[in-house]
Structure 1
Amino acid sequence: MTPNQRGSPIYSSCTKCKTLIPLGESRCTRHRPKRTHVLSSTQRGYDAEYLRNRATILEGSPLCVLCNRRIATTADHIIPLSRGGTNQIHNLRPACPRCNSGRGNRL
């Protein structure tokens, strides 16, 4: 569709029910996916024990144990929390953000 002479916005239709919606959106408000609640860091398992052990691991600005090139600013779980790991100091190691986020929840 093209805009009319007065410059009205261009519309498209919802992919589910064919209701007119502004161009650039694919679904009407009724069919748009609901936002999911994002859990807090405490709810995800990063508690006071993790913060203490993270500070211990990162004191002295160690190098990343995964790439040995960058300074580590994050604590990587050797066995991820999602796979049954803990926040204990023997399960943490220093890692740079790039290596830590790239690793995901792999062992």
Structure 2
Amino acid sequence: MDWWSCAYCDAPFGPKVVCEIDHVIPLAGGGAHELWNLAPACRACNLGKSDRPAEVWLTSLAGPAGD
């Protein structure tokens, strides 16, 4: 992972895609406000993920198993 693109969709940051910092494990879910729990995210991914753990959110994007 680098800090020049979204950790989730790989959109490159620039004038049209602003970097936001996401908590991979949300604070509401017991995650820490520490470097190991932070990821660069575009606004669309950060809002879409909301307060779900990254693993749960990414799995939900793939749809039901077998699709």
Q: Which has the higher helix share?
A: 2
TM-score relative to the length of structure 2: 0.64
C-alpha RMSD of matched pairs (Å): 1.8
Structure 1: give runs of 5+ residues left out of the alignment.
Answer: 1-56
1:102 aligns with 2:44: no
Distance in 2 between residues matched to 1:101 and 1:64, nearest whole Å: 13
Aligned length: 48
Q: For CA contacts below 8 A with separation 6 or more, give which structure has more relative contact order.
A: 2
User: Corresponding residue for 1:44?
Assistant: none
Give structure 1 regions of 4+ aligned residues with deviation exceeding 6 angstroms.
none
Once the two structures are superposed, what CA deviation does each residue of 1:13-69 show, in whole Å capped at 9, x if it has no partner? xxxxxxxxxxxxxxxxxxxxxxxxxxxxxxxxxxxxxxxxxxxx85xxx10010002
Q: Share of identical aligned residues, percent? A: 38
Amino acid at match of 1:80: P
Question: Larger Cα Rg: Structure 1 or Structure 2?
Answer: 1
Secondary structure at the aligned position of 1:66 is classed as coil
TM-score relative to the length of structure 1: 0.41
